[in-house]
Amino acid sequence: MPKVLISDSLSAAAVDIFKLNGIETDVITGMKPEELIACIGEYDGLAVRSATKVTADVLDAATNLKVIGRAGIGVDNIDVDGASARGVVVMNAPFGNSITTAEHAIAMMFALARQIPLANQSTQAGKWEKSKFMGVELSGKTLGIIGCGNIGSIVAERARGLKMRVIASDPYLTPEHAGTLGIEKVELDELFGRADVITLHTPLTEQTAGILNAEAFARMRDGVLIVNCARGELVVESDIKAALESGKVGGFAVDVFPQEPPPADYSLFGMEQVVATPHLGAATTEAQEKVALQIAEQMSDYLNSGAVVNALNMPSVSAEDAPRLKPYMTLAGQIGSLAGQVTESGLKSVTIEYEGQVAELNTRPITACLLEGLLSPLMSGVNMINAPILARDRQIDVSEVRHERDGEYQTLVKLTVQTENRTRTVAGTVFGGDKPRIVEVNGIALEAELGENMLYIVNKDRPGFIGRLGTTLGDAGVNIATFQLGRTAQGSDALALIEVDGELSDDVIANLRNLPDVVQAKAMRF
């Protein structure tokens, strides 16, 4: 039975979801880092919000961990690269709190525009200062949205309902989606120059860190209102303080901070133009219920069936697709491993062709399994999660090709590997719905089921070779389980894939390589 640890406060409904899916669940919140490290090794899954820090030290101790689920969007508290390197899937729940966060951004806009916090404080102090709190209407103003993903799109829809003109800067916003939202896509500089109100909804990256700085403020309209419900590091604290003091920025509403909770001497505290809330963007009963249920369902599906949804470091695989993909993922791993184990020089490019029934499936996880098999014999620490990243980092060109044509097989996966010295191909199919078979190696047709221990032999097709091969194995006490043989033409290159009962020693392989007509001999494990 899989076992999950919930280390932050989640809705009790999440525990019910895990239990209904046959998953043992412990809820232990408020642990110190050393306490988490001491216990994490016994769990298959870890469900967190933002309090638990999943560091490299935690991951090192998490020897059985398969999945981390973040009940929310941001994963700043999780070492995603470290998890990928260890083959741990990192999931989030990106949709459960989108509406809540968008509504909070709208509320913060109103708070700035109508000075609601100051007016409330004054009125409750027994004052009646109507003339002091002269606000501005949002209707007719231009709202600039930086980052128009899930949350930004909802803000745009709500803002248009308020009769605001909406412009957005987002490199991933397509003209079609902008048209659907009824907004205008613009470059960032143009947004700075036109917006009366700017709201941030972009993730924190190297490119977006400090995106609102002194230079950006200088290009904005005087008195612009700014809302940040995304990430504290998007705004340079000292620069916005100076802009508020000069009047360049008319007000700043902030829900997120570089350090949470912020220090008591945070430089923006006490400024009348600042509205601050303690990271309340997702803090509604409805949102917390949604993200808890969503992450529990996703983690349960992964642990029970291999389904992957909303993963940050792995292609998605639906619960419906997982059983159909499994035999192809197994086949792809074998194809890649065979090619990787006989590769003796640097990889330059990889082409994966999908033909027939497999071409109609979600091939991204199949490709990931193939790359894992291909790279594992060549480097350590490879898994299907980090294999595509490792290939990219090593400038190995990876391409996929889908063929709609009918071929010799109902379904076919073919790998072509270009190394520094040669081109190699391996192809395979699935028989009977779940039986992987290798059907071609380097243009040589054969039909082989791969076992745990295999012998790969390339030789010149000469009479007597198979007898000498069998004698050499027999003299070494090696028993042959299966023997599959193919050749390009009579007297040309031949290839054998031989399953043997037990590992082949270096001495046996050396003796095989010394046989007449042997071109290549390799011991393989699958």
* 3-state per-residue secondary structure call for 184-244: EECCHHHHHHHCCEEEECCCCCCCCCCCECHHHHHCCCCCEEEEECCCHHHECHHHHHHHH
> Beta-carbon neighbour count of residue 334 at 10 Å?
24
Q: Is 481 helix (H, G, I), strand (E, B) or coil?
A: strand
* 3-state per-residue secondary structure call for 351-411: EEEEEEHHHHCCCHHHHHHHHHHHHCCCCCCCCCCCHHHHHHHCCCEEEEEEECCCCCCCE
Which of 246-278 are b and which e, b meaning 16 or more Cβ less than 10 Å from the residue's Cβ?
A: eebbbbbbbbbbeeeebeeebebeeeebbbbbe
Known catalytic membership, residue 279: yes
Select which of 231, 353, 355, 499 is catalytic: 231
Question: What is the C-alpha separation between 76 and 436, in angstroms, rounded?
Answer: 40
Q: Is 170 helix (H, G, I), strand (E, B) or coil?
A: coil
227: phi then psi, degrees, rounded to nearest 5: -125, 130
Q: Pairing mode, if any, of strands 274-276 and 397-403?
A: unpaired
Crossing angle for the helix pair 506-513 and 465-475, nearest 10 degrees?
160
Question: What is the C-alpha separation between 133 and 39, in angstroms, rounded?
Answer: 55
Known catalytic membership, residue 260: yes
Question: What is the C-alpha separation between 503 and 523, in angstroms, rounded?
Answer: 8
348 residue type, one letter: K
Q: Pairing mode, if any, of strands 493-500 and 453-460?
A: antiparallel
Q: For the chain, how far is it from start to end, CA to CA, in angstroms? A: 27
Give Cα 357 distance to the centre of its chain: 26
Select which of 42, 129, 137, 260 is catalytic: 260
**Helix-strand-coil split of the chain, %, nearest 5:** 35, 25, 40
Sequence-distant (≥ 6) Cβ neighbours of residue 292 within 8 angstroms: 10, 11, 13, 14, 71, 96
Known catalytic membership, residue 35: no
Burial status of residue 480 (CB atoms within 10 A of its CB: 0-12, 13-18, 19 or more)? middle
Select which of 114, 194, 279, 364 is catalytic: 279
Question: What is the C-alpha separation between 387 and 396, in angstroms, rounded?
Answer: 11
**Residues annotated as part of the active site:** 231, 260, 279
